[in-house]
């Protein structure tokens, strides 16, 4: 893990890094020493590690909870090189949908393929970040919606350091088998009028989670219209479960 830059804003230190070619960013409270909870933020499709929603959430996790937060670019996203295999599959899928194929199974197949890379990448990121003195081996949370949910479910299922997760805007066809291995507390966001994830698919993914404590927050509106008050709820959820 190599740190590239260090900047500070409103009490939040932001450090860019690379780890085995993966560009990432670590946020910690200014002056922090010693172990603290860490939240890994999984960005959405077409986004990157410093997309506005990721940046806003990271700053609030650090400033309001005193935790650390980390995000990395997904394969083919942000500062990572174009991924020819993934690009080819996306192009093929677009052609298959144009020819009348169903979108949901293609998305599921694609996310499963990407997850086979991101699960080990994210575990390596946790290893490296938790070796820094100002993060340390504390409890870990995961936040990810949409593609960040599709990749997050297999990650949370595989990684015992994760103690709580906020997921959502994803459907069961992508990850029901992995969901059945998720047992930590989950807050699950669903948009009641989601134009991309059929309502029944979202409800089925929530249902498939094996967690004994799980809460579904369903709001009116489309895929990109999660209300701002859910961010407050996310912070309270991590505050309850990571300390």
How many Å is the maximal CA-CA distance in the chain?
56
Binds its own copies by CB under 8 A, chosen from 163, 198, 219, 231:
219
CB 202 within 8 A of CB 223: no
Segment contacting its own copies (CB under 8 A): 14-22, 65-73, 140-148, 219-227? 219-227
Shortest Cβ 207–its own copies spacing (Å): 8
Alpha-carbon span 241 to 164, nearest angstrom: 6
Binds its own copies by CB under 8 A, chosen from 176, 218, 223, 231:
218
Segment contacting its own copies (CB under 8 A): 41-49, 116-124, 173-181, 232-240? 232-240
Alpha-carbon span 12 to 68, nearest angstrom: 9
Shortest Cβ 231–its own copies spacing (Å): 13
Check binding of 222 to its own copies (CB under 8 A). Answer: no
Shortest Cβ 143–its own copies spacing (Å): 18
Segment contacting its own copies (CB under 8 A): 19-27, 98-106, 156-164, 230-238? 230-238
**Closer CB to its own copies, 140 or 186, in the complex:** 186
Alpha-carbon span 20 to 38, nearest angstrom: 21
Check binding of 243 to its own copies (CB under 8 A). Answer: no
Check binding of 183 to its own copies (CB under 8 A). Answer: no
Alpha-carbon span 45 to 63, nearest angstrom: 27
Alpha-carbon span 198 to 203, nearest angstrom: 9
**Closer CB to its own copies, 132 or 211, in the complex:** 211
Shortest Cβ 91–its own copies spacing (Å): 37
Check binding of 231 to its own copies (CB under 8 A). Answer: no
Please state whether beta strands 162-168 and 186-191 pair in parallel, antiparallel, or not at all (unpaired): parallel
**Closer CB to its own copies, 43 or 241, in the complex:** 241
CB 146 within 8 A of CB 223: yes
CB 79 within 8 A of CB 48: yes
Segments in 159-228 forming alpha helices (H): 172-179, 199-208
Compute φ and ψ for 169, nearest 5 degrees: 55, 35
Please tell me whether residue 171 adopts helix, strand or coil conformation: coil
Task: List interacting residues with its own copies (CB under 8 A).
Answer: 190, 192, 203, 206-207, 211-220, 227, 229, 232-233, 236, 240
């Amino acid at each position: 893990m190599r740190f590239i830059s260090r900047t500070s804003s409103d009490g939040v230190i932001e450090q860019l890094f690379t780890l085995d070619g993966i560009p990432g960013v670590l946020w910690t409270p200014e002056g922090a020493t010693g172990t603290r909870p860490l939240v890994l933020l999984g960005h959405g499709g077409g986004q990157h590690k410093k997309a506005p929603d990721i940046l806003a959430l990271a700053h609030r996790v650090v400033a309001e909870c005193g935790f650390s937060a980390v995000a990395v670019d997904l394969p083919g996203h942000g500062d990572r090189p174009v991924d020819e295999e993934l690009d080819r599959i996306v192009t093929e899928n677009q052609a298959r949908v144009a020819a009348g194929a169903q979108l949901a199974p293609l998305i599921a197949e694609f996310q499963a393929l990407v997850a086979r890379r991101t699960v080990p990448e994210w575990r390596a990121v946790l290893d490296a970040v938790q070796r820094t003195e100002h993060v340390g081996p504390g409890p870990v949370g995961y936040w990810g919606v949409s593609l960040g949910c599709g990749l997050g479910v297999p990650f949370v299922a595989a990684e015992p350091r994760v103690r709580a997760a906020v997921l959502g805007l994803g459907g069961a066809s992508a990850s029901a088998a992995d969901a059945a291995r998720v047992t930590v507390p989950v807050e699950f966001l669903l948009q009641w009028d989601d134009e991309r994830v059929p309502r029944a698919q979202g409800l089925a993914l929530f249902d498939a989670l094996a967690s004994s404590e799980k809460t579904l927050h369903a709001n009116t509106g489309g895929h990109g219209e999660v209300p701002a008050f859910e961010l407050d709820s996310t912070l309270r959820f991590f505050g309850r479960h990571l300390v």
